[in-house]
Structure 1
């Protein structure tokens, strides 16, 4: 890597300060937080303002916020993101950590579509595959995504719909499903125990985009012979971490739950 340019580094340091707090800062606050000379701060802030990376806050004299140029760059970055490609990268990282099968899926109507899958290092056959659809109510990723829907959208999706089971443990009663989804919404994670495959349990966490909207879910699937309370807790934390990493790749800041 070549030599870093100090002035450019300091300019980025200033911009990144605006990701904290209420998103507004004064020049003295920037000087204090970064330990810069006052003249350096003034020159950098003036330059960033002239290029529309910062703008004065009209109702708060002497304070600045991020300008339209940062929004334009962020929007262009978001346009270039590919959920499937980013999902595969994160799924590989999580699968390498735990040795189990990792999925990334999104919701379409009442089904989930798997957009990424990385297989376990163990010889276990899974019912899923990238591109395959499964009933959302039978899977951890699907229940996670259903639980994050606004109440009116969930009602529209479930009213009058027959919930077909994939195993004897699948939830096929609408009231029971609504109860389970309400619990998942509070917990921020979903668990499926042999509901889509009689030999597999899963845990899933939500993936959010830069607006905070849930756009996908990431799950870790485990054969029941390797599933117990300790393993569930371990993989739940790992699924949340993976979903958080993928959310960050999509521009989200903050926790995913």
Structure 2
């Protein structure tokens, strides 16, 4: 076959890519009927493709099984890709020092829609610790890193993220309204530190800080998660010191020196 000739298409692969490209639009979930109609595909073959993508983790469905959105596998691939970048390299460089001093879990998070995705972590050997896994996600409004990632967004973008004004709660301490979230974000912008006092996981507190790019946008967050029973005033202050140090160093080395 000549290099000038177009490569032959594999029909099923082409349809899978068409499904993925649907999610580059305004919606984050679609029904079987919507996907089949949008792509002019038979419902029966669309169903089979969706089931294959579900079983491989590339899509996930809601509790009704009728709405489909992008699944964890794509985030895993994204995580593996980001492992090789200078952002994660610089994170691991300073996270090692932080873990030695704080003896707590250090996390690096980035935003994906209304979630924070943890793309790197430095674990410690404490018997009781906050446990996560690479590629795991938490809601922005209920996590310290998430509040950091929201803190520089325009108000209209926050309203677009949460059009219903009510926020999903995970514990009795989770922020439950957009108005309360905006009040919290004003404090985060002023202090450049965000807190999570058991808002996503009971008994686990977290502190996060911002990593900035050259334009002053928040592109990532470094956070430390600590079981509440281990927190002392000294540990909390040391955590704040190390987060600010880490965020400054990573911002400077990755973004501001390029």
Contact in 2 for aligned 1:138/1:196 (Cα 8 Å):
yes
1:137 aligned onto 2:174 = no
Which whole-Å CA distance do the structure 1 matches of 2:253 and 2:214 have between them? 9
Correspondent of 1:188 among 184, 189, 192: 192
1:169 aligned onto 2:173 = yes
Q: Aligned residue for 2:126?
A: 122
* Structural mapping, 1:21-100, within 5 Å: 81-100=85-104
Deviations 1:120-154 (A, max 9, x none): 33122425321111111111100111112122222
> CA shift at 1:93, angstroms?
2.5
Q: Aligned residue for 1:214?
A: 218
**Structure 1 pair 148/128, CA: closer, same or farther in 2 (3 Å)?**
farther
> CA shift at 1:161, angstroms?
5.8
Which whole-Å CA distance do the structure 1 matches of 2:104 and 2:96 have between them? 10
Q: Aligned residue for 1:146?
A: 150
> CA shift at 1:213, angstroms?
2.0
RMSD: 1.9
> CA shift at 1:162, angstroms?
4.5
Segments of 5+ residues of structure 2 without an aligned counterpart are: 1-83
How many residues were matched structurally? 174
Question: Could you list the runs of 4 or more consecutive aligned residues of structure 1 that deviate by over 3 angstroms after TM superposition?
Answer: none
> CA shift at 1:168, angstroms?
1.6
Structure possessing the higher radius of gyration over alpha carbons: 1
TM-score (norm 1): 0.62
Which whole-Å CA distance do the structure 2 matches of 1:94 and 1:146 have between them? 24
Q: Aligned residue for 1:101?
A: 105
> CA shift at 1:211, angstroms?
3.3
Q: Aligned residue for 2:203?
A: 199
Which whole-Å CA distance do the structure 2 matches of 1:145 and 1:88 have between them? 20
Q: Aligned residue for 2:115?
A: 111
**Structure 1 pair 210/97, CA: closer, same or farther in 2 (3 Å)?**
farther
1:234 aligned onto 2:238 = yes
Segments of 5+ residues of structure 1 without an aligned counterpart are: 1-79
Which whole-Å CA distance do the structure 2 matches of 1:117 and 1:110 have between them? 20
Contact in 2 for aligned 1:91/1:116 (Cα 8 Å):
no
